[in-house]
Amino acid sequence: MELKLTWHGHATWLLETGEHRILIDPFVNENPAATVKADDLTADFVLITHGHFDHVADAASIARRCSAKLIANFEIASWFQQHHHVEDTLGMNLGGSVSLPFGRLKMTVAHHSSQLPDGSYGGNPGGFLLELADRRLYFAGDTALFSDMRQIAAGGIDVAVLPIGDLFTMGPEDSIEAVQLIEPKVVIPAHYNTWPPIEQDVELWASAIREHTGAEPMVLEVGKTVSI
């Protein structure tokens, strides 16, 4: 089955199965790296990994306009419903899975923080393990390296999306170790080159992935759609 992926810069991803559009961590209007605005994006599902501004900023407007189902941890899902009038939300928590029209989704552990932009408690940060279109995808979210990534990836991962920007998340070196634990077929870098503090030489990163892991690095251009 066809599966398309578009990077809208930073940690914003659009997955398209042909039938469903799944938008992860929409942050484009104030994202200096993005080439689209929130009004250009449509989605059936909006997935949120954690409460930080650079992951939730455009979620409410898109979810409301598209009548999308917003999926996040319980605290964040409630926050969107109560404070941002997002009607269709699904709150879950770490380790939980759910079957959805596009496939199966599991909320995985991430080592990070999750305060919401207005100071509200944002629960625990997470990542997503998605099983759809005969593929298993792991969006790690904002996280440090942790050895349980091996456990999360048990059963095989086709595509892993990992942060490499450093400072707020793991950096390039730790991402190499993460790939050694996850052993995905393909690894895609995220959360870098949005602002100067998280600038990285992604070509250098890609060579290191080729040299030290069995995964194929796939560096996406912002705004460009690829088949995965």
Kindly state the smallest distance separating residue 103's Cβ from Mn ion, in Å.
25
Exposure string over 50-79, b if 16+ CB within 10 A, otherwise e: bbbebbbbbbbbbbbebebbbbbbebbbeb
Radius of gyration over alpha carbons of the chain, in Å? 16
Q: What interhelical angle do 59-66 and 74-84 show, nearest 10?
A: 70
Residue whose token pair is 């932009």: 117
Per CB under 5 A, 174 contacts Ni ion: no
Residue whose token pair is 């279109």: 133
Per-residue binding string, Mn ion, 34-73, x by CB under 5 A, is ------------------x-x-------------------
Residue 106 interacts with, from Ni ion, Mn ion, none (CB under 5-8 Å by kind) = none
Query: Which of 52, 69 has the CB closer to Ni ion?
Result: 52
Per CB under 5 A, 21 contacts Ni ion: no
User: Per the structure block, which two tokens stand in for 150?
Assistant: 């091996």
Per CB under 5 A, 10 contacts Ni ion: no
Query: Which of 17, 143 has the CB closer to Ni ion?
Result: 143
Q: What interhelical angle do 172-182 and 202-212 show, nearest 10?
A: 40
Per CB under 5 A, 25 contacts Ni ion: no
Per-residue binding string, Mn ion, 124-163, x by CB under 5 A, is ------------------x---------------------
Say if residues 96 and 102 touch (Cβ distance below 8 Å): no
Residue whose token pair is 């690095």: 217
Per-residue binding string, Ni ion, 129-168, x by CB under 5 A, is -------------x--------------------------
Per CB under 5 A, 25 contacts Mn ion: no
**Segment holding 163, helix H or strand E:** strand 159-163
Per CB under 5 A, 166 contacts Mn ion: no
Residue count at the site for Mn ion (CB under 5 A)? 3
Query: Which of 62, 198 has the CB closer to Ni ion?
Result: 198
CA distance 212 to 138: 20
Per CB under 5 A, 52 contacts Ni ion: yes
Residues found near Mn ion in the complex (CB under 5 A)? 52, 54, 142
